Amino acid sequence: MNEKLDKQYFDVSFDFHDNKYEPIKNIGNGAYGVVCLARHRKTGTNVAIKKIVNVFEHFLIGMRTYREIKILRHLINHENIITIRDVFLDLNHTKDVYIVFDYMDTDLKRVLESNQILTNDHIKYFAYQILNGLAFIHQAGIIHRDLKPSNILVSQSCNLKIADFG
C-alpha cells in the first residue's frame, strides 16, 4: 500500500511489525483518535485498529489508554467482550499507540437508528448478550464507565461485544 493512502487513514506510514496490517478504510473517529478497518496480511483476517494520538503528551489520554489495555487484557476470552489482538507503537511516531481489536460490522446505536426492523427475538438476544457481558465484567470486579449503544459493537450475525473501556 502506498504511503499517500496510508496517510489518509492515520497520517503515518504502516512501517512496523513487517507490515503486519494493510489499512482498508477509516471507520470511525473519536475524541482521542481514529479507527481504521485493516487486514492482517498473514491470516487475511479483518481487524479494527484504534490509533490514539499523542498518548504520552497528555496525562488523561495516557491514563485512559492504559486503563483500556489493562482491563481488556484481564477480560480475555469472553464472547461478548471485545478482544485486543495486538498493541504497538509506530517506530516513526512513538507518541501514538495502536490497539488492534476484533473487527465488528457496526454498533448498536447505528442498528437502533437504522430502518432495520428488530423482532422480539433480536431484542431478547441483544439483551441476553449485553447482560452476559456485563455479568462477566462485574464478576471480575470491573465497572464499565461509559456503557451506551455506541460502545456495544454488533456483527452481521447479531453477535454483540462490549467495547471502549477507557
* Residue 34: predicted pLDDT: 86
Q: Which domain holds residue 85?
A: 3-162
Higher pLDDT, 12 or 27: 27
pLDDT in tens, 95-137: 888 999 999 999 999 999 998 899 999 999 999 999 999 999 9
Find the CATH number of the domain harbouring 83: 1.10.510.10
Of 10-14, 22-26, 154-158, minimum mean pLDDT range: 10-14
pLDDT tens-digit series, residues 31-82: 677 889 999 999 999 999 998 888 888 888 888 888 889 999 888 889 999 9
pLDDT band at 6 (very low <50, low <70, confident <90, very high): very low
Q: Is 51 annotated as a binding residue?
A: yes
Residues 81 and 72 sit within 8 Å (Cβ to Cβ) = yes
Spatial CA neighbour of 90 closest among 36, 150, 146 = 36
Catalytic residues: 146
* Collapsed DSSP state (helix, strand, coil) of residue 108: helix
| Number of domains composing the chain | 1
Is the pLDDT at 3 greater than 50? The verdict is: no
Q: Which of 104, 6, 102, 100 is nearest to 52 (CA)?
A: 100
Cα separation, 138 vs 136, in Å, equals 6
pLDDT at 46: 95
